[in-house]
Amino acid sequence: MNDMAPSSLDTTAPELVSLPAPLVARTVAVDPADLPDDLLSLLPTTGGMSWVRRGDGLVAWGEAARVRTDGAARFADAERAWRAAAARAVVRDEVRLPGSGLMAFGSFAFSTTSPAGGALVVPSVVVGRRGRSAWLTTITVGAVTAPSPELLTVQDDPSSPGAVQMHDGALDATGWRAAVSAAVAQIRAGRVDKVVLARDVVATTAEPLDPRWVLRRLSADYPSCWTFCVDGLVGATPELLVRSEKGLVTSRVLAGTIQRTGDDDADLARAAILAHSSKDLEEHEYAVASLTMALEPFCSTTNVPETPFVLHLPNVLHLATDVNGVLAEHSPRPTSLALAEALHPTAAVAGTPTLEAVTMIEELEQMDRGRYAGPVGWLGADGDGEWGIGLRSAELDPVDPHRLRLFAGCGIVAASSPAAELAESEAKLEPMRHALRS
């Protein structure tokens, strides 16, 4: 069995967190040959967490500790709790790579008003792989547990969810096109330059959903994306909000999308169209400028390419820009979570100007996004980590294992067409829909 008995901690006032004993993390190196090609095959049926890309990354299970936060201070409260826990922790780490030693997975709501709030989850067992290095970590409260090779046992394959039915979420197709039309009218009236509108679709499965079924298919179909599962949010995001590693910061901006046809020659032509589309370039420029402005106070230098590249995914093509920076001398150095807070929400998931766009989202979407389009990822004891934007994702129902909500969003500018934006949202829903099929 992979499950370790968790010692859990749940609080809505993380500044008051006090564990009866410090967290104890023990990391040992393992032979990469002892790990399966697919790290996700190590996950148990329930309680699994993941952050995997191109076969490398982190998978985990069990729960040594948890911090629950809410409202506008959800990031700051979680960071304060994490710093306090890390300061008291006993860490024995013979690997010393990003993700080894003491670490936590996290996901946070898009909106300050969402009841979904935020969470940091410290797992009991973590398996990591990075290039030619691999490791096994156990985390407990107050006692050292020697990692056992038995924890690397491949689990049984997940079962199919059976027939899947899709239902309208907060808005049906007609209602969402109307919302886009209203947004375009307000953009042309000068209220905002861009707004990102999302829609949800409710899926019901004939059999109880095993999240591993979705994760394995997403990882296989979208290896260049970050396949994640954290606290009920599952997906494969192409967008890295921020990576902080030894003073270097990286962020990937995606804005501007066109659906693929499945024909390579036609898709090359579409890539050229996307790269020269004034509508998509305008949308992308807003997103890059917003992110760079938010990142600059933390960095001594930043590097922003002059033109975006086209990112090819199986279902869509995106305009993409990788922004890099060097953290300025700060004491203490900002954690990756603090950087994620500063960058969220980007223009790629909210709009420009951000505050007014968020207000418009609340008026027009008629739904709570929950943790969709919020930061999701992990951080280590030193504060370094990786945070993606929770896109191409679904929210598992905490009560009904047959039900989940799928999400997709589109950037709306003055030149947007409601019919075209609906088609784009359908293309962005396809990864999750396909991952659910038998």
In angstroms, rounded to a whole number, what is the distance separating the alpha carbons of residues 51 and 86? Answer: 21
Choosing from 194, 283, 285, 365, which is the catalytic residue?
194
Instruction: Examine the residue annotation and report whether 239 is marked as an active-site residue of this protein.
Output: yes
In angstroms, rounded to a whole number, what is the distance separating the alpha carbons of residues 244 and 340? Answer: 10
Q: Of 276, 339, 330, nearest to 308 (Cα)?
A: 276
Tokens encoding 389: 């934007």
In angstroms, rounded to a whole number, what is the distance separating the alpha carbons of residues 63 and 125? Answer: 8
Choosing from 15, 79, 94, 239, which is the catalytic residue?
239
Tokens encoding 361: 């989202």
Q: What is the DSSP letter of 240?
A: E
Q: What is the length of the chain?
A: 438
CA 50 to chain centre: 10
Calculate the alpha carbon distances from 272 to 192, 258, 269, 280, 310 in Å. 28, 11, 5, 12, 9
Q: Is the peptide bond before 149 cis (omega within 30 degrees of 0)?
A: no
The one-letter code for the residue type at 253 is V
In angstroms, rounded to a whole number, what is the distance separating the alpha carbons of residues 282 and 286? Answer: 6
246: left (phi over 0), alpha (psi -120 to 50) or beta: left
DSSP element (H, E) containing 318: strand 316-327
Contact yes or no for 202/170 (Cβ under 8 A) = no
In angstroms, rounded to a whole number, what is the distance separating the alpha carbons of residues 212 and 209? Answer: 9
Lookup result for tokens 């090819």: 312
What DSSP assignment string belongs to 163-203?
SEEEEE-SS-HHHHHHHHHHHHHHHHTTS-SEEEEEEEEEE
Burial 401-433 (b: 16+ CB within 10 A, else e): bbbbbbbbbbbbbbebebeebbebbbbbbbbbe
Instruction: Examine the residue annotation and report whether 329 is marked as an active-site residue of this protein.
Output: no
Q: Of 432, 219, 226, 253, nearest to 346 (Cα)?
A: 253
Give the residue numbers marked as catalytic.
194, 239
